[in-house]
Each structure stands twice: as C-alpha cells, then as structure tokens.
Amino acid sequence: MAEQQPSHRFERGTDGPKVIVVGVDGSDSSLRAASYAGGLARRQHSLLAVVYVQPVMAAGAALGAPVAETTDQIAEDLVTQIRDAAERVKDIFAVRWEFHTFRGDPYNGLVTAADELKADAVVVGASEQAGHRIIGSVAIRLVKAGRWPVTVVP
C-alpha cells in the first residue's frame, strides 16, 4: 500500500525570503536600494543583511595610500547611517538587520556574502558609473549568475 504524501498548502505571508542581502557602498543608488530592501524585509518579516564590500586596492597601497583606513571609515560611516535610519523609524516599524563587511571586488564580495548568509534575494543599486554600460555592472553580473532573485533599484 502506497503512503500518502501530506498535501502542502500555501500559507499567506510565510513563503517570502527569509534573508535579503543588500549591497551598500555609500552611493545614492545603494542607499535607495537599502531603503527598498528595508521595506521589503519589513513586509516579509525577513532578516535584512546589509553588506559593504571593502575593495582591495594593491596599487593604491603600493603608492602609500591609506586604503584600509579609508574603507574601514566608509564601513563605520555606513553603520552609523543605517543605525540612525533604524532609530528614526523604530516606532513606526521594526526591521531585523545585520551589517557585514567582506573584502574584494563588489561582484565577488556580494556573491560570497549571499552564499555565506544563505540569501533568498539580493538587492543592489543601479550603477552610477558610465563605464559599466560597456563592461557590465555588478547588478547585471548578479542577474546573469542566476543564483538568487536580484532586484536592481535605480
């Protein structure tokens, strides 16, 4: 006698992403992406993983530029901005969020972050650099990877 499999019912509000990764770098488009991802996380009751990828610039370091200090300061500034924004809206709605930093180029850093954090969705801002129209932006590369749903915020 064959065993009957339990039927799976759709439950409203429980089938959305559990972890949403958003890439931030301080640019206007990345901050808009963070706002969009925050709203999505709130509505879906998801964890918002805010990720800053610290660039590794061997050439800058060779020229004596304080690269590590600069990128650490950017990360600290981003955490401060995010904490301030979360504090301003805490009485309106609560969003569970974490801040993570990874080192490397933006694309590989976000891929690593999404894999390690077990992302169900990735949100990024549209590139503000003209050269990316020719070479391809991080957002386009993430979409082409086809590993997670990717939302690109203008």
pLDDT digits (tens, 9 = 90+) for 48-106: 999 988 877 655 455 555 555 666 777 777 777 777 766 666 666 678 888 888 888 88
SS3 76: helix
Q: Which two tokens stand for residue 111?
A: 């891929």
145, β-bridge pairs: none
Model confidence, pTM: 0.74
Residue of 96, 141, 112, 139 whose CA lies nearest to 51:
112
The CA distance from 2 to 87, in Å, is 56
Beta strands in 79-120 (DSSP E): 96-103
pLDDT digits (tens, 9 = 90+) for 110-134: 999 999 999 999 999 987 765 445 4
Evaluate the CA torsion angle 118, 14, 147, 50 in order and state its sign.
negative
Q: Confirm if 23 and 125 have CB atoms less than 8 A apart.
A: yes
